[in-house]
């Protein structure tokens, strides 16, 4: 059997030392194409030798150690994912020592109808090869076997007709380019990658280049120029081509110059092409998932730091549009109008203003004041239905109401509901992706919807907490009967008067005269009505910068912010006494006594207790001197103010 195999090895010029430069180039392309560090074409005789290799310095190994002899013996492919764990190979010297083979995949190499060696891929790390890639490696084995057969025929060279026949029969996408004549030959499988028939394919380069994505054209041209300019350089490039059905296909093309003229100028380039769309989609999904997770984390971080959901949405909005490959969009939150109807408050919005009215809408958004009140439309249907709205032909969707005059064309729309439990609390709207929106797009963005739902919920919890705190604070600082600040609030807010540095202010204590008599004569209900009316008159008469509070019982505290510009306390006393208080028991005449003191800006905040006591002492004097009057702690200074 060995003699018979040697006969074919000799016949087809596969003995050790034969010049196989073309095969060296091809096998280097194979290594690049499969992304393996080592690729070999081995011949099995009394020893194993390599007629072409890439990534390995060894030329000959013993037959006993050769992995490829098992491929020849089996007559079928052999794949070993981790040789160090394989019982038949773990002690092999090529595994134990250099090159320390871990992975091996080999397919038979044929000559004269007999297995004479193998085409193989090696790695010094455990690895795998998909069934599809193994079939591709087998196709390359057939291709190389045909090349060997044609090269071994008397007087045969690799003629154009022969090569055309070879690439036509190969089970891979093959492209052969006669550079000088710009004549391109593609096989059936190359055409099938792009949904084309052979009779639809033109031979000139301008045809296939017209199918390349605009964003990839310049890079592809640069990559093709490299092997044309540098001998031995490999073309290995990934790019997009338009399928006959209109979508984009990611392809990987690997090749080399396989023929030069006597001056070394390239005459022919041969390449293999495969569809890598699924791998690119997986890579893109992974990249997008990382990006999505990143800006979700940033949105959460901003919200936790600032409690500002609008800023969080604006922070991620441009990246969201890029990630979703969309031209424009919005993020909105459902709010309830006073009428009980739902509207959409806009947290993030693309600026697609096309008229004065929409310019004003965008400015309203920038001010944080934009609401979409009408939900009888495509994006409103997301809110009213609570489901995903996908309209790749918006005009045909039952919820579509068209677009206003001048609005950018709405080519495709994807609306995604933001939910808390079963309740729709907001939405993301995306528009005008170049290709159709898919269920995969909606599913991919689902974690973002959950994140925004959690932020909306956290915002509502925060609002509820603040409202509860404000209510508790209001209850703690407000007199229930008069709705004025109570004594505690009065004392806290008086500190603000002391902190200003330029204006003299006044502290006063006001007491309703003979209030006990009113209660005794008319009852406590009328007494409460009198307190409420006096509180109302005080609040109405004083300025917004002044402070009035119920100190307890029938006493009120007043701070006049700017003594020079303040209403006089005497005028205040007269205003209360001028008209009776109308109660449920009829008219009740009411007067007040007022004790006051002046506080200068240089006085210390800690003096408030003493100043309040001085005002109280002045009130005591006003009562002793007959009531219904104003008395100052420093009457000689304050005479002009009374």
8 A C-beta contact, residue 248 and residue 194: no
Q: Is the pLDDT of residue 405 over 70?
A: no
Rounded CA separation 329/55 (Å): 51
Identify whether 33 is part of a domain.
yes
Between 157 and 197, name the one with better pLDDT: 197
For residue 593, name the pLDDT band (cuts at 50, 70, 90): very high
Span 477-516, pLDDT tens digits: 899 999 999 999 998 888 878 877 577 888 999 999 999 9
Among 2-16, 299-313, 319-333, which range has the highest average pLDDT? 319-333
Each residue's pLDDT tens digit, 263-293: 888 989 989 999 999 888 888 888 888 888 8
In the predicted structure, residue 2 carries a pLDDT above the cut 50: no
The pLDDT of residue 236 is 92
Judge whether 291 lies within some domain: no
Least confident range of 329-333, 402-406, 437-441: 402-406
Residues 148 and 166 both lie in one domain: no
Answer whether the bond into residue 199 is a cis peptide, omega within 30°.
Answer: no
What is the pLDDT at residue 466?
79
Count of domains forming the chain: 4
User: Residue 532 in contact with residue 481, Cβ under 8 Å?
Assistant: yes
All residues at 6 or more sequence positions from 213 whose CB lies less than 8 Å from its CB, including other chains:
239, 240, 241, 242, 248
pLDDT at 100: 92
User: What's the mean pLDDT when you consider all of the chain?
Assistant: 85
Query: 480 in a domain, yes or no?
Result: no
CA distance 621 to 627: 9
Residue 527 lies in a domain: yes
Radius of gyration of the chain (CA): 45
**In this predicted structure, what is the pLDDT of residue 306?**
78
The confidence score (pLDDT) of residue 124 equals 93
Residue 1: per-residue pLDDT = 47
Say if 515 falls within a structural domain: yes
| 137 Cβ contact partners less than 8 Å away, ≥ 6 residues apart | 34, 77, 105, 107, 119, 121, 129
Do 360 and 401 lie in a common domain? yes
In the chain, the N- to C-terminal Cα span, in Å, equals 131
Q: Based on the domain organization, do 438 and 525 belong to the same domain?
A: no
| Strand segments (E) across 474-554 | 505-512, 547-552
What CATH number is given to the structural domain containing 549? 3.30.70.270
pLDDT digit string, tens, across residues 120-150: 999 999 999 998 889 889 888 888 887 776 6
Instruction: Write out the two tokens for 473.
Output: 């604070």
| DSSP notation for 145-208 | HHHHHHHHSTT----HHHHHHHHHH-SSEEEEEETTTTEEEE-HHHHHHTT--GGG--SSHHHH
Flag whether pLDDT at 4 surpasses 80: no
Closest CA to 254 of 267, 270, 239, 232: 270
Give pLDDT tens digits for 555-592.
Answer: 999 998 776 656 688 888 998 999 999 999 999 999 99
pLDDT at residue 73 above 70?
Answer: yes
Residue 164 and residue 127 share a domain: no
Helix axes 160-169, 131-152, angle to 10 degrees: 160
Q: Name 352's Cβ contacts closer than 8 Å, sequence gap at least 6.
A: 328, 358, 407, 408
Is the pTM of the predicted complex or chain greater than 0.85? Answer: no
Q: Quick one: pLDDT at residue 119? A: 94
Q: Are residues 526 and 603 in the same domain?
A: yes
- Return the higher-pLDDT residue of 243 and 637: 243
Domain membership flag for residue 200 = yes
Phi and psi for 453 in degrees, rounded to 5? -60, -45
The count of C-alpha atoms lying within 13 angstroms of the C-alpha of 612, restricted to the half-sphere facing its C-beta, is 17
Confirm if 107 and 35 have CB atoms less than 8 A apart: no
pLDDT of residue 207: 94
Q: Which helix (H) or strand (E) holds 413?
A: strand 413-420
Q: What angle do CA 68, 74, 75 make, to 5 degrees?
A: 85
Residue 284 domain flag:
no
Which positions ≥6 away from 196 have C-beta within 8 Å? Answer: 244
Contact residues for 19 (Cβ-Cβ < 8 A; gap 6+): none
Q: In the Cβ-directed half-sphere of 57, how many Cα atoms lie within 13 Å?
A: 2
Which pLDDT score is estimated for 281?
85
Confidence of residue 522 (pLDDT cuts 50, 70, 90): very high
CA distance 410 to 431: 7
Q: Look at residue 525 in the predicted model and tell me its pLDDT.
A: 94
Could you give the C-alpha distances from 564 to 503, 606, 641, in angstroms and in order? 8, 24, 9
Task: Compute the C-alpha angle 329/333/336, nearest 5°.
Answer: 135
In percent, how much of the chain has pLDDT > 90? 41
314/372 same-domain check = yes
Question: Are 603 and 609 within 8 A, CB to CB?
Answer: no
Asked whether residue 119 falls in the same domain as residue 100, the answer is: yes
**pLDDT bracket for residue 551 (50, 70, 90):** very high
pLDDT reported for residue 160: 46
DSSP 455-472: HHHHHHHHHHHHHHHHHH
Return the minimum-mean-pLDDT range out of 28-37, 149-158, 246-255. Answer: 149-158
Chain centroid to CA 544: 47
Cα separation, 495 vs 491, in Å, equals 7
Q: Which CATH number does the domain housing residue 167 bear?
A: 3.30.450.20
- C-alpha distances in angstroms, 59 versus 2, 10, 46, 69? 20, 18, 14, 16
Q: Which residues pair with 508 in a beta bridge?
A: 558, 596
Please report which helix (H) or strand (E) contains residue 44, including its range: strand 38-44
Amino acid 636: pLDDT: 39
Half-sphere exposure of 66 (CA within 13 A, CB side): 29
Neighbours of 201 (CB within 10 A): 16
pLDDT at res. 12 = 52
Answer with the residue of higher pLDDT: 275 or 637.
275
Question: Same domain for 76 and 140?
Answer: yes
Q: Do 281 and 247 meet the contact criterion of CB atoms below 8 Å apart? A: no
Per-residue tokens: 244? 């006959």
One DSSP character per residue, 569-606 reads: HHHHHHHHHHSPEEETTEEE---EEEEEEEE-TTS-GG
Residue 422 CA neighbour count, 13 Å, CB half = 0
Top pLDDT among 460 and 347 is at 347
170 and 62 in a common domain? no
CB-based contacts of 217: which residues, under 8 Å, 6+ apart? 209
Indicate if the pLDDT at residue 68 is higher than 90. Answer: yes
pLDDT score, position 455? 86
Residues 616 and 594 in one domain: yes
pLDDT at position 338, please? 80
Same structural domain for residues 556 and 586?
A: yes
473 against 640, higher pLDDT: 473
Length of the chain: 642
Stretch among 180-184, 468-472, 587-591 having the lowest mean pLDDT? 468-472
- Whole-number Å distance between alpha carbons of 206 and 630: 101
Non-local CB neighbours of 584 within 8 Å, separated by 6+ positions:
525, 526, 529
Q: Say if residue 84 is in the same domain as residue 222.
A: no
pLDDT at 565: 58
- Domain ranges, residue 394: 306-466
Is the pLDDT assigned to residue 412 strictly greater than 90? yes
In a domain, 286, yes or no: no
**pLDDT > 70 fraction of the chain, expressed in percent and rounded:** 89
Residue partners of 339: CB distance under 8 A and separation at least 6: none
For position 492, what pLDDT does the model report? Answer: 86
Instruction: Assign residue 80 the CATH number of its domain.
Output: 3.30.450.40
């Amino acid at each position: 059997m060995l003699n018979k195999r040697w006969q074919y090895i000799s016949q087809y010029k596969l003995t050790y030392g034969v010049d196989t430069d073309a095969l060296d180039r091809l096998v280097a392309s194979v290594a690049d194409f499969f992304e393996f560090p080592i690729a070999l074409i081995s011949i099995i005789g009394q020893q194993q030798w390599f007629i072409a290799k890439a990534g390995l310095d060894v030329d000959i190994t013993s037959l006993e150690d050769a992995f490829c002899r098992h491929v020849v013996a089996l007559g079928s492919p052999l794949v070993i994912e981790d040789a160090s764990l394989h019982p038949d190979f773990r002690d092999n010297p090529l595994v134990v020592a250099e090159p320390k083979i871990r992975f091996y995949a080999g397919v038979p190499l044929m000559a004269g109808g007999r297995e004479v060696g193998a085409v193989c891929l090696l790695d010094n790390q455990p690895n795998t090869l998909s069934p599809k890639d193994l079939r591709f490696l087998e196709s390359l084995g057939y291709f190389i076997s045909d090349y060997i057969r044609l090269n071994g025929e008397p007087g045969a060279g690799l003629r154009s007709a022969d090569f055309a026949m070879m690439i036509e029969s190969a089970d891979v996408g093959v492209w052969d380019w006669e550079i000088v004549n710009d004549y391109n030959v593609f096989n059936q499988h190359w055409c099938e990658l792009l949904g084309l028939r052979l009779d639809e394919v033109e031979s000139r380069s301008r045809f296939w280049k017209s199918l390349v994505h605009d964003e990839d054209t310049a890079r592809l041209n640069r990559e093709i120029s490299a092997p044309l300019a540098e001998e031995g350089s490999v073309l290995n490039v990934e790019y997009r081509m338009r399928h006959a059905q209109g979508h984009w296909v990611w392809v990987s093309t690997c090749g080399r110059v396989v023929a030069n003229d006597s001056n070394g100028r390239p005459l022919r380039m041969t390449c293999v092409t495969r569809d890598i769309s699924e791998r690119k989609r997986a890579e893109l999904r992974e990249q997008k998932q990382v990006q999505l997770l990143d800006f979700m984390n940033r949105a959460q971080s901003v919200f936790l730091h600032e409690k500002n959901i609008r800023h969080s949405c604006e922070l991620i909005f441009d990246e969201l549009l890029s990630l979703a490959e969309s031209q424009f969009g919005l993020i909105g939150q459902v709010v309830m109008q006073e009428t009980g109807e739902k509207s959409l408050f806009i947290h993030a919005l693309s600026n697609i203003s096309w008229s004065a009215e929409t310019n004003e809408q965008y400015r309203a958004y920038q001010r944080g004041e934009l609401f979409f009140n009408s939900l009888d439309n495509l994006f409103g249907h997301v809110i009213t239905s609570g489901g995903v709205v996908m309209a790749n032909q918006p005009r045909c969707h039952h919820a579509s109401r068209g677009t206003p005059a001048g609005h950018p064309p709405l080519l495709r729309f994807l609306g995604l509901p933001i939910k808390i439990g079963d309740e729709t609390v907001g939405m993301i709207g995306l528009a005008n992706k170049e290709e159709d929106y898919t269920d995969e797009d909606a599913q991919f963005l689902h974690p973002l919807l959950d994140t925004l739902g959690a932020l909306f919920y956290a915002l509502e919890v925060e609002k509820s907490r603040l409202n509860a705190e404000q209510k508790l604070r209001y209850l703690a600082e407000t007199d229930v009967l008069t709705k004025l600040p109570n004594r505690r609030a009065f004392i806290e807010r008086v500190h603000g008067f002391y902190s200003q540095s330029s204006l003299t202010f006044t502290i006063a204590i006001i007491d309703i005269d003979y209030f006990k008599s009113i209660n005794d004569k008319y009852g406590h209900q009328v007494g409460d009505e009198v307190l409420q009316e006096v509180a109302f008159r005080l609040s109405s008469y004083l300025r917004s910068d002044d402070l009035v509070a119920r100190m307890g019982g029938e006493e009120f505290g007043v701070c006049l912010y700017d003594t020079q510009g303040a209403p006089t306390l005497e005028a205040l006393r007269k205003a209360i006494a001028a008209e009776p208080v109308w109660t449920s028991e009829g008219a009740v005449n009411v007067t007040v006594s007022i004790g006051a003191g002046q506080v200068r800006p240089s006085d210390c905040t800690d003096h408030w207790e003493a100043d309040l006591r001085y005002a109280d002492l002045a009130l005591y004097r006003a009562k002793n001197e007959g009531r219904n009057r104003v008395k100052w702690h420093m009457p000689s200074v304050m005479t002009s103010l009374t």
